[in-house]
Structure 1
Amino acid sequence: MAASHLRSETFSSPIILEELTIPDPSREYPPHVRRPGFTGPFTMNVAFLLTCRRIYLETYHLPPLLATHVFWHGPHSGPPALGARFPDLYGHAPEEHYFACFAPWQLQFVKEVKLFTQMFWLEQSFPSMCADGVLPAGIERLRISVRRGDWWYNERKYPLFINPHRGGWLEDYVEDVARQERGEVIPWEDGGWGAAFQWLPALQELEIEFEMSVDRKEELKVMVQRALKWRFPMGKRGVLSNEGLGMVLSGWKSETESFCVFTVKWKLVNNTK
């Protein structure tokens, strides 16, 4: 629920309607969860809305609009106790529970969602979440982070791969890469996670962060360069395309490791060429 960089935040003079990390060391996320901008729970100072009726009427919509609505899948890869509250590794109960707390008028102001997602959930559960209308219909921007520990079998130093067309195994990915290099058009299977964005009727932009330890930077770069060619189908609305946007490389350090992150954006274009 914050910008994509580490910030020094205090409560001494809170900024109106800005999300702040709760300054309680006991609630800080453990190392495997912490990421730049996501070091602990957030809060927002909304006392300004209570100043007077006029101010409230002019600003009541801002909290759901400005908040970062963030979710972790699977639950054990997120904040402490999340897995105990939502033990179903393959479900989307966190989103259902969270958005059930919103009034209908608040839901219409939710424009952005952030997902930290392991590969098994992205491939096996994300499509059904989109098709079932779990996320608010007005979402315009979706941000997905695949962290170092989220890749298939990363603990075994398994080759990096990600296949939005049909998911599947490494062999399927290698086959599709070869077909792409031959100039073939890879079809989007209904069950593939890359075909699920079309169920988000207001989506305008997709951002994916691909993270890995720096020792595998070049391997990750090759894979991300292939991802730049993805054109996600959006039905009659067109496609999500990376054309002209490229990728951005950044890095960060934990207490024990250094990481590289390739960030790629796709924006809606009204053609399907």
Structure 2
Amino acid sequence: MEAHIAAARNFNYNPRNHNYAPSYISGFGISPAPPPLPPLSTKILARTVKAATRGPHEQAQSPLFSVLFPELRNTIFLLALTEYEVRDAARPWSKHSRYYRPDRTARRALSTSLLLTCRRIYLETHLAPAALNEHVFWADRLRGKAASGRFESSYAQYFAKMPVSQRRAVERVRIYTETNWLEGRKVLDASPDQEYWGVQETWPLGLVIPQLNITIRHTDWRFWERKRVLTLAGPGEDEGKWGMWIGNVPGLQELIFEFESTEAKKEELELLVRAACGWKFALADGRGFLKHNGRKPIESVWLASAALEPPGARRTVLDQRERDAAEEIQLDEKHPLTLKLLVVQAVFTVVVE
């Protein structure tokens, strides 16, 4: 809660552009998109401030605007427009799935009802959903459509659906990626609305991503089922290397790498992280380089399902996010939470040389 309050104090709700009808992002993470607005509400909210003689109603009769301090009101707006977990007792998020994480234990949802309250609230908060929430993508072998109906690995297609004002409000992006996918990143000229999973993706116009988190999970390493040595090709600085893809992320200020593997591979993970701390990414916009911040990488441990123990359980177990409660109970008995997974986080920041 303290983190949310601090974010509310720092978040700027001043409207940047009101000359368009409300647009809603097609779900954050794997959340389904909200229902479309009623036509009447769309027409009302689409009116610009210039078109109205006095602008939006001041809502002075509401204690929300006449009594509460702006900082407290912003905190309320922040909480209302932040993702929350939806727990379904009949069909829970499976603890035995590759997608289960300590910070992601249920399906996420986002309510945008607040934006329909009145024009003043809409104008103050319509960019908040894009700015407050982390935009999550799963770039792995499944390559399937998420519950929201979009390709989860296609970040370019996802952001292309946003108006430019929302793209400029984005703060955080996280990509859960297999090593094969990351090593295949290239900077090529391609249409952002393509619908296939591949390396030819570019960032839509106007998008800025101040913080990018790349997470390689235990099951994302090449041949993890066979307990092979952890390997990841260096980013390189040549054209066609994935380091150049990182350098082309628009507006990037902080890059966070999270490497995860079993406790049995702790030494291998430490060697790989030590090498990663020497990486350098040239920024395409000429602002300098992304280099390790010099601080000791942060380590953490969590207990995962024994279903993830190499060689792993059936794909139908690992790849299914949600399942019936009765089936989940059976898996709980068969696969206890005994697998220790070590996570090491390294942070890279902009340096001018």
> TM range, normalised to the smaller chain?
0.7 to 0.9
Task: Report how far residue 148 of structure 1 moved.
Answer: 0.7
Q: Output one character per residue of 1:150-172: Cα deviation in whole Å (capped at 9) or x when no partner.
A: 11222221111222335xxxxxx
TM-score when scaled to structure 1? 0.75
User: Is the Cα contact below 8 Å between 1:131 and 1:199 reproduced in 2?
Assistant: no
SS in structure 2 opposite 1:116?
strand
List, as ranges, runs of 4+ consecutive aligned residues in structure 1 with deviation greater than 3 Å: 80-83, 125-131
Aligned to 1:270: 352
Aligned to 1:251: 301
C-alpha separation in 1, matches of 2:302 and 2:153:
31
Task: Report how far residue 135 of structure 1 moved.
Answer: 8.5
SS in structure 2 opposite 1:260?
strand
Structure 1: stretches of 5+ with no match in the other structure: 3-13, 167-187
Percent same amino acid among aligned pairs?
A: 31
Amino acid at match of 1:133: W
Task: Report how far residue 136 of structure 1 moved.
Answer: 6.0
SS in structure 1 opposite 2:166?
helix
Aligned to 1:145: 215
SS in structure 1 opposite 2:142?
helix
Compute the RMSD of aligned alpha carbons. Answer: 2.8
Q: When the two structures are aligned, how many residues end up with a matched partner?
A: 232
Q: Output one character per residue of 1:46-78: Cα deviation in whole Å (capped at 9) or x when no partner.
A: 33333332222211110111121111112528x
Choose from 252, 257, 280 the match for 1:208.
Answer: 257
User: Is the Cα contact below 8 Å between 2:298 and 2:345 reproduced in 1?
Assistant: yes
1:23-172 equivalent positions in 2, closer than 5 A: 23-25=87-89, 26=91, 28-29=93-94, 31-76=97-142, 82=146, 94-125=154-185, 127-128=187-188, 132-134=202-204, 137-166=207-236
Task: Provide closer, same or farther for how the CA distance between residues 95 and 201 of structure 1 changes in structure 2, counting only shifts above 3 A.
Answer: closer
TM-score when scaled to structure 2? 0.59
Flag the structure with more relative contact order, 1 or 2, with Cα contacts below 8 A and sequence separation at least 6.
2
User: Is the Cα contact below 8 Å between 2:160 and 2:204 reproduced in 1?
Assistant: no
Aligned to 1:20: 84
C-alpha separation in 2, matches of 1:21 and 1:126:
34
Task: Provide closer, same or farther for how the CA distance between residues 40 and 81 of structure 1 changes in structure 2, counting only shifts above 3 A.
Answer: farther
1:194 aligns with 2:237: no
User: Is the Cα contact below 8 Å between 1:148 and 1:211 reproduced in 2?
Assistant: yes
Q: Higher strand share goes to which structure?
A: 1
Moved more, 255-264 or 228-237: 228-237
Q: Output one character per residue of 1:196-241: Cα deviation in whole Å (capped at 9) or x when no partner.
A: 2221231101001000011111221121012111111114211101
User: Is the Cα contact below 8 Å between 2:93 and 2:105 reproduced in 1?
Assistant: yes
Structure 2: stretches of 5+ with no match in the other structure: 1-27, 30-77, 189-198, 305-336
Moved more, 105-114 or 29-38: 29-38
Moved more, 23-32 or 143-152: 23-32
Amino acid at match of 1:119: T
1:238 aligns with 2:288: yes
